[in-house]
Amino acid sequence: MDVAELASHIEHTVLRPDARQVDVERACQVARELGCAAVCVNSIHVALASQLLVGSPVLVVGVVGFPFGATYTAVKVLETELAIQDGADEIDMVVAIGQLKDEEFDLVESDIAAVVHAAAGRPVKVILECGLLTDAQKQQGRRSPSWLARPL
């Protein structure tokens, strides 16, 4: 695999809490030059990244519930809707870690389903903070949610 092919599978991220406009600009420039698959930014930077990547095949991924997933579902839904409005091509959401650890799987699934619905057909990836989970919890977090099989 050459560098260009490898880059096409990478999401370049700018997720630091102190990320500034210049950091997003630099990440978008690097992603465009290398041909990365996407730039992943905090939702507050989605509009800027979208503007910078117009005409580029590089996707913009907005994160919601980042970094802990410990927000109300309604907040994740609103954050998703705003990120989509600002130009996000995809959404990465953080699973409600505490709920997963408490085995409140119905709550976890409904949280994910609500964000998927709010994403209006755009891909949604669910982030598991693996360092905080046991192997069994990671496996449970990977299971195929029942809502995938039914329309929302």
Q: pLDDT tens digit string along 48-99? A: 999 999 999 999 999 999 998 999 999 999 999 999 999 999 999 999 989 9
**What mean pLDDT, rounded, does the chain reach?**
90
What's the domain count of the chain?
1
Q: What is the pLDDT of residues 14-47, one digit of tens each?
A: 999 999 999 999 999 999 999 999 999 999 999 9
Q: Residue 95 is part of which domain span? A: 3-149
What pLDDT is attached to residue 6?
86
DSSP labels, 46-72: HHHHHHHTTTSS-EEEEEESTTT--S-
**Residue 106: which CATH number?**
3.20.20.70
